[in-house]
A = this chain, B = another copy of it.
Amino acid sequence: MGFLGNAPRLDGLIERLESANGLDDLQILIEELRDQYGVDHIIYHWVNSSGEQYGCGTYDLEWVNRYVEKGYLRIDPVIQGCYQRFHPVNWKRLDWSSKSARALMKDAIEHGIGNQGFSIPIRGPNGQFALFSLSHNCSDAEWEEFTETNRRDLILVAHYFNQKALEFEPGRTPEPAQQLSPREIEAMTLLAIGYSRAQAADTLSISEHTLRVYVESARFKLGAMNTTHAVARALSRGLIVV
């Protein structure tokens, strides 16, 4: 495996990131970045709701396909952990206690991902969630020092990467991010925290019929099939908070 290189000059890189003109440019930049940092892999991974997710990075296609096919997305502690965190995290600090997680790690190491990793969670509008991760093969101490040294730069790079990816996003939700009205938000929030329609209506001091109108209206705006679906969408788009 390669050596951890010196920290590259960020200014030029970010400028080139800002002037990137398509997903291909991002792929080129990410490879360059990997070489400059001297790590084994860097990946930017858009973890999207609708299944169609975009990613670019230096993993081989084989591993990516394997990852998707095996449904690793659902058990990967990196995903699970970063989803609950704000700050970047060293993979070693995550919870690898479950059997499936350890199987995943073993499989990953066998596919040359490396035994160390560092992931930066990034969140955008409408509940967008992405990860910017570096992986490498080295000792714990080396990795700890590397991530400590480059943490700030990496946060910035991850940020700019996501900004670009958002610009190029293919599936810019055709619906222009329908906003919910205040009452609709209240209604959906109450349902999301477990109230029945009757309870929610009571809490808002309105008739259950009225509450139903809000829920239906929200369901329509969100393009949802039923109440549960609507609450799920409202949550993933960050329209309501539980």
Contacts and interface: CB of A to CB of B under 8 A. Distances in A.
A184 to B, nearest CB: 12
Interface stretch (A20-28, A106-114, A228-236): A228-236
A224 interface: yes
16 contacts: A49-B185, A74-B240, A84-B126, A86-B125, A86-B166, A123-B123, A123-B238, A126-B241, A127-B127, A129-B238, A191-B229, A193-B229, A193-B232, A194-B226, A228-B231, A231-B232
Given A127-B238, A235-B236, 13 more contacts: A49-B185, A49-B242, A73-B241, A79-B241, A84-B177, A84-B237, A86-B128, A86-B166, A127-B235, A156-B156, A191-B229, A231-B232, A235-B235
Q: Which of A123, A128, A166, A182 has the most CB of B within 10 A?
A: A123
Interface of A: 14, 47-50, 73-74, 79-80, 83-87, 98, 123-129, 152, 155-156, 159, 162-163, 166, 177, 179, 182, 185, 189, 191-196, 224-229, 231-233, 235-238, 240-242
A20 to B, nearest CB: 14
B47 A162 contact: no
A242 B126 contact: yes
A154 to B, nearest CB: 11
A155 B79 CA distance: 24
A228 B189 CA distance: 11
3 closest cross-chain pairs (CB), A and B: A194-B229, A194-B225, A83-B238
Contacts of A189: 49-50
